Structure 1
Amino acid sequence: MVHNPVVVAALSAAFLAPLAAGMYSSNSPVLQLSSKNFEEKILKSNHASVVEFYAPWCGHCKSLKPAYEKAAENMKGLAQVAAIDCDEDANRRTCSEYGVQGFPTIKVFKPGKNGKPSIHDYQGQRTAKSIVDFLIDQMPNHVTRVNSKTVDGFLKERNGTSKAILFTTKGVATPLYKALAIDFLGSVTFAQVRDKETEVLKLFGVEKFPTFLILPGGSAEAVVYDGELKKEGMAKFVTKFSKPASKEEEGTESSSTSSSSSSSSAPPPRPTFDSTIPEAPSMEIFAETCGRKICVLVITPDKRPDLTGPEGANYYINHLKQTFPFFQVQGSKLSAEFAQGFSLEKSDKVQLRALSAKRGWYVAYEGDTESEEEMKIWIDKIKMGEIKKVKIPPFPGSNDAPPEPPKDAPAPEEPVKEEPVKEETVKEEPAPEEPAKEAPVPEEPVKEAPKHEEL
């Protein structure tokens, strides 16, 4: 693979602190955890989660990886499939707190009352299908089933907030609809009406199935959704009408017929379980990841903003990561030559640059980092080749030599040699005399994501 030497050298000078690579790459659908974000992403989440506690050297962990990533892809946007590297010094305390004694250990975190999740070990088969089926069963159900006897009470309850109603031929809520109800828990009430409830159908004038609509609250008329019945489009539609419950209504939240649990505090009305943008890795890993494709570099100011919240740039960026790989780097770690070459300003705001190391060009994002629509337009223009690309200029020095690292740059560290596992550390589970093939996905078809997108 051939890279533009100027870009490669410049990026090498920019990333002064190479990071160790875990078992899952930045493009993996698996939510990658650390001790710093474990509480926010798992313990405080309203979504059900499975977490793999692993070590990169573990043979069983490597065997599980294909099935685990496939399960994560299937459950994207519905529930969390996450992993934490217990071999990292910073993460060992968290792994110890949950009693991890062998690898891989998979634990299930299901939201419970008083904001504390119930936690237990996953005992099922380590196949994509088994993990998906199990996680679907663990999803909280905040969807209220409405019929002719309960519709009047449902409409009067919490009348100041929006209500989403799905009219369907199905008797139970699908994983997609459950996930939507969880995403907007505390700001929008979700309900489902069966096609057999003729009185309710007449009340709303519904004649076809499925039909999805919003009651904005108060005396406002219902608004019918006319888009594709997929989670992304439906979530955007609901967002227009979402608002937190008033103090008078917080104590009257309706309960689901199949789940009486309620949240102790109203979370943001948007999904909060996206993984954070990975730090820019060492040059070798960056070149391997981005050499054949376009990557987007997110440059943060010295005083780093919180990129984990649903209202920050990271929320929107994570929704676009499926197009290009995203990395972040702190502005102070970039050399002056690099900053000048990519037209970066000294700013307290987040800056984005899409670049191709192989072709030697970049594109600056000049829109609002908190505007999902503007970022999507920017990404689409890059994909379609409809945006002007700026050639990366030669850096100062003879023969277009790349910039040297800043004077205060630390000397490169010697490669860390992999040490054998000590007896007192967590050991890998012993393999059986006749190893069973854990990793390969079974022949029977796995529930693919499109199936969960159906209503």
Structure 2
Amino acid sequence: YFILIISFFFFFFYAPWCGYSKPIHPIFDDLAKKVSHLKNLKIAKIDATVEHISAQKYKLTGYPSFRFFPAGNKKSHTALDYNQGRTLDDFYKFLLNHYSEKKKLIQLTSKQVLDEHCETGICILAILPNMQDVTDYYFISYINTLNDVIKDISDLPVTLLWTPAGDQLDIVNKLNLSYGFPTVIAISFSKNVFATLIGNYSKESIKKFITQMMIGKASVYTLTTFTVKTVSKIDLDMMQRKYGNNSDL
């Protein structure tokens, strides 16, 4: 199901009989005024008892419920479930952050990075070979493959991170990922599950994996608690300048 207008959308689903929904109405009215200067950002109230097809499509389990669509052509599975605060300031900060957000590839260097980027939505983590185990050419090709993926999934509520396997061994061990690198996993902390890429490490394979995760067709496993090690950030600029966009292996 496509939403054809290329904009940002923020939906407030409510039921008239729901006491928890009633205080949100004036807040959403104020929010509409506060974000009126943000071009292509649309917010809307939706009565789920009238628009019951929408309620089913977004798999609503209670009210009030909130869904956010990033920019770009959208399918129903691209909606981000909003579970944060319900004050005017909470809503505004969330929308402002996503409105100005441009997807980029992020190195997993600490628990703070993981918490900041993976608390909501789905997090995609590429676990790469250690730099000393492969040539610079191959290592940067793995990075460039991920950058190519980002260009094609700008409308999906996912974040892409990467790490050399040796930097985050606890993740590798706790999630039983020691069968070879590079590999890719998808993590949903809100649902306490993860999935592993089945197939080759390529742009098309990773994109298909992300889509399957979004629509609930990926095989998922219960997420085991792991520790994120604080490591130094790797400077990829020199390798990028030397090898360019060599994502084809």
Instruction: Report the TM-score, using the length of structure 2 for normalisation.
Output: 0.42
Say which structure is richer in helix. Answer: 2
